[in-house]
A and B are shown apart, each in its own frame.
Chain A
Amino acid sequence: MATLHDSRPGAPRLALRGIRKVYPAVVANDGIDLAVMPGQIHAVLGENGAGKSTLMKIIYGVTQPSEGEIAWEGRSVRVTSPAHARGLGIGMVFQHFVLFDTLTVVENVALSLPGNPDLADLARRIRAVSERYGLPVDPCRLAHGLSVGERQRVEIIRCLLQNPKLLIMDEPTSVLTPQAVRTLFTTLRQLAAEGCSILYISHKLDEIRELCHTATVLRGGKVTGTCVPADESLASMARLMIGKELPRCERGAADGTGEVRLAVRGLSQATADPFGVALRDIRLEVRSGEILGIAGVSGNGQQELLYALSGEAPLADAAAIRLCGTAAGRLTPGRRRALGLCFVPEERLGRGAVPHMSLARNGLLTAYGSGLLRFGMIRLRAMHELARHCIERYDVKCGGPDAQARSLSGGNLQKFIVGREILQCPRVLIVAQPTWGVDVGAAAFIRQALLDLRATGTAILVISEELDELFEITDRIAVIAGGRLSPATPTAQTSLEEVGMRMSGVWPEPRPAIDEPEPDPDDGPCPPAGELEPWARRHATGKGHSHAA
């Protein structure tokens, strides 16, 4: 391995040696060595919590290492700030974009450039770069009107305008459709061919195998190995990443004949939020004993749909949502819970749990109906008992029922929240982003818990951006795009590519249903299946497919 201070032609562009970063509660990086050559696409692979983001923050100057050295182009440096990093030639595209919503694209880019650039000239340069690298974007649009894919393009262009020698991409594909991922890879390959080094942070093994020249694997803050992804199998990389095989979920077959527990018909809602998405004529059904998944890149109406389903944004039309037969569109969240609905929200701290409260009191948040109250007063012992039971049953690693919610890791808190909802024996469970930011072990646990719940007859709706996850646990899949929902297809009968295409908003509409009767609550197993069959038949014969985005 080349030494740190080496200015020969074969020397690494960026070299890290012994990087260590200590936080009060955790050692995020421990003795990390890394070398990136010019023109190389170098993956940094690791699951959530392995220390990848911290390492990138150190390289980009957002934070300083506790120990260790950084060498840039053969010379030892200390990257003191993002501006300094940019001056060196390092650019970073963040996972959570750092655009200012009320400013235009040009203004946003201008903010990250030194000096006082002329906006008209800058707009010209933006157009030039965007054309050269296939990243279409309009410089004069306000940032809040951009789609997620467009925002990422702005971020990339912002970096490219400064002619970086190293580009850091932090989990870039978590917000892209499969087709958009292809486009991104083309751009990145072009950049690498021109001599730019790329640090590609991800936990997605197949993408790394497809795109990257080499990979450094992190686990628990340490480097567990380096490899050439093309020479490895998914299994061997997984073993480097998590130390064992990727866990698989056990699932039985879905029945498909349970009664309809959640029925949504003609759900439309305009949005008052200037940055929101309007819902248009959403239609879905979830039966007892099945898991329906909704795929989609964030920003297509998932938030609005979840608020409408949970009751936080009541609808004008009460019958648009039926919970176990009862019209629930205008009911408050409390009333919907009384009907048997439970909900795991996307945000853990601050919404699913109160950060400074103990786990016991957080259990009370939604599970108050499970015998925790008497005459309006809290039964302290019952409350503690519930929390203890949840912690034990769902393998929550914490300091006990009195531990503050914010002291738990993401995975453990998510297990607690999921457990709390499941322990209320819901008739319908809605889960948003069940394993976002959660380590692999906890993610597998949660998915298995959902599958087990399905077996007991609960109807489960999962909204997720992770296609792999949806394909693993759902029985049927629908796609939400631009506020509209596609018809649901059985997961076994569709593919990643097809779902990806639907994410751009085009899908074959079902034959207009002829006067369907409202599902009768006393009705037997199924509502009319007419809606699903014609589409499935059409798909099988290859007609009516959509074109690429």
Chain B
Amino acid sequence: MENLIASVLAATIVAGTPLILVAMGELVTEKAGVLNLGAEGMMSIGAVTAFGVALAGGGPALAVVAAMAAACLMALVFGFLTLTMMANQVASGLALALFGVGLAAFAGKPFESATLPMVAPLRLPLLADIPVLGPALFRQQAMVYLSWLIVAAVLVFLYRSRWGLVLRAVGESPTSAHAVGYRVIALRYAAVAFGGAMAGLGGAFISVFHTPLWAEGMVAGRGWIALALVVFATWRPLRVVLGAYLFGGVMIAQLFVQGSGLRLDVPSQLMSSLPYVATIVVLVLISRNAHTIRLHSPASLGQPFRPDA
């Protein structure tokens, strides 16, 4: 029984980690007032890049860095379109998503039957021996610990540092920030780039650490779910973590059901569709209250910023 709880927890954490990574990036981007819907595309690019680099013998670390760079580059294209060319953010984000997924499918064609060796998890000494929690939390991949560090860093940045304050101000009212003298566009570029790097990181985790193979569409909507997560968490980092792990739990529900030995005659497709249904439910729950959304959402989200000539 203990083993079951530990392994369920561990699997939940693994399933939730890519969501945390992508959602953290998107949260910072949206806090600056930019809505980047292209997470799915950036994740796919990250996944295919990481897999390709690892397959070519680059090792997991290099693969991760390459993935971050590639996704960041895509994000900067989006940034250029929306911040400098002042295109509609929704349409541009969709374009990024479609293009990214398509490009990843195209670039990943040669990889379709390849597999990578599993990367060994990183056991944290001492901590890993705590009963139940030890195996669950502290025998994870290095990326999982990295995701926790990133959450902490984002928290400190947004709420304890000056530039985090400026970023939040930019997201709330870019015209005011501009009038006070801050470089709104430059800050937004930085936020978008960070969002891209995180999405790449999330994608790399999926293709190199989680299931070390490549298949077209393997990101399977997790980029979109991460976007929903940010709304669900009302743009607060710790709630994102909570939501990500909840979703992780839903995603592995299928395995849990099978593993627990319950003989349920439920079609596998129903179980597989649970995360998507859950996303819808969660969105409805959080959107009902317009008051909450208004209070926490960055006021300028999605609107282009046009500095006066």
Q: Which residues of A contact B (CB under 8 A)?
A: 23, 57, 61-63, 81-83, 86, 94, 98-103, 107, 110-112, 116, 272-274
In the complex, which of the residues B169, B290, B294 contacts A111, with contact meaning CB atoms closer than 8 Å?
B169
CA distance A57 to B295 in the complex (A): 31
Residues of B close to A98: CB separation below 8 A? 173, 175-176, 179-180
**Are B165 and A63 in contact (CB-based, < 8 A)?**
no
In the complex, which of the residues A62, A111, A273 contacts B165, with contact meaning CB atoms closer than 8 Å?
A111
> 1/0 per residue B259-301: CB within 8 Å of A?
0000000000000000000000000000000110011000100
**Are B176 and A100 in contact (CB-based, < 8 A)?**
yes
CA distance A99 to B177 in the complex (A): 9
A109 to chain B, nearest CB (A): 10
Residues of B close to A112: CB separation below 8 A? 180-181
CA distance A409 to B268 in the complex (A): 63
**Are B169 and A274 in contact (CB-based, < 8 A)?**
no
**Are B179 and A100 in contact (CB-based, < 8 A)?**
no
**Are A274 and B179 in contact (CB-based, < 8 A)?**
no
In the complex, which of the residues B168, B172, B290, B299 contacts A272, with contact meaning CB atoms closer than 8 Å?
B290
**Are A107 and B309 in contact (CB-based, < 8 A)?**
no
Q: A98-B173, A100-B172, A102-B295 are in contact. List 19 more A-B contacts (CB 8 A).
A: A57-B308, A62-B178, A62-B179, A62-B308, A81-B181, A82-B181, A94-B179, A98-B175, A101-B173, A102-B168, A102-B172, A103-B172, A110-B162, A111-B165, A111-B166, A111-B169, A111-B180, A111-B182, A273-B294
Name 10 A/B residue pairs within 8 A (Cβ), A-sorted: A57-B308, A63-B309, A81-B181, A83-B181, A94-B179, A98-B176, A98-B180, A103-B169, A111-B177, A274-B295
Residues of A close to B182: CB separation below 8 A? 111
**Are A107 and B179 in contact (CB-based, < 8 A)?**
no
Residues of A close to B290: CB separation below 8 A? 272
B157 to chain A, nearest CB (A): 14
A187 to chain B, nearest CB (A): 22
**Are A100 and B169 in contact (CB-based, < 8 A)?**
yes
CA distance A23 to B294 in the complex (A): 36
A409 to chain B, nearest CB (A): 17
- Summarize B's interface: helix, strand, loop or mixed: helix
10 closest A-B pairs by beta carbon, nearest first, are A98-B176, A82-B181, A83-B181, A98-B179, A112-B180, A116-B162, A100-B169, A100-B172, A274-B295, A81-B181
Chain B residue nearest to A272 in the complex (CB): B291
Residues of A close to B181: CB separation below 8 A? 61, 81-83, 86, 112
Residues of A close to B294: CB separation below 8 A? 273-274
In the complex, which of the residues B173, B175, B295, B308 contacts A63, with contact meaning CB atoms closer than 8 Å?
B308
- Summarize A's interface: helix, strand, loop or mixed: loop
A110 to chain B, nearest CB (A): 7
**Are B308 and A100 in contact (CB-based, < 8 A)?**
no
Chain A residue nearest to B290 in the complex (CB): A272
CA distance A83 to B182 in the complex (A): 8
Most buried by A among B168, B181, B182, B299: B181
A51 to chain B, nearest CB (A): 14
Residues of B close to A273: CB separation below 8 A? 291, 294
Residues of A close to B175: CB separation below 8 A? 98
**Are A107 and B165 in contact (CB-based, < 8 A)?**
yes
Residues of B close to A57: CB separation below 8 A? 308
CA distance A103 to B175 in the complex (A): 16
CA distance A181 to B181 in the complex (A): 29
**Are A274 and B291 in contact (CB-based, < 8 A)?**
yes
A53 to chain B, nearest CB (A): 10
CA distance A63 to B306 in the complex (A): 13
Residues of B close to A23: CB separation below 8 A? 309
B30 to chain A, nearest CB (A): 15
Chain B residue nearest to A98 in the complex (CB): B176
CA distance A288 to B95 in the complex (A): 56
CA distance A159 to B153 in the complex (A): 33
Chain A residue nearest to B173 in the complex (CB): A100
Residues of A close to B180: CB separation below 8 A? 82, 98, 111-112
Chain A residue nearest to B169 in the complex (CB): A100
Residues of A close to B308: CB separation below 8 A? 57, 62-63
CA distance A116 to B161 in the complex (A): 9
Residues of B close to A102: CB separation below 8 A? 168, 172, 295
In the complex, which of the residues B166, B172, B179 contacts A82, with contact meaning CB atoms closer than 8 Å?
B179
Residues of B close to A61: CB separation below 8 A? 181
Chain B residue nearest to A97 in the complex (CB): B176
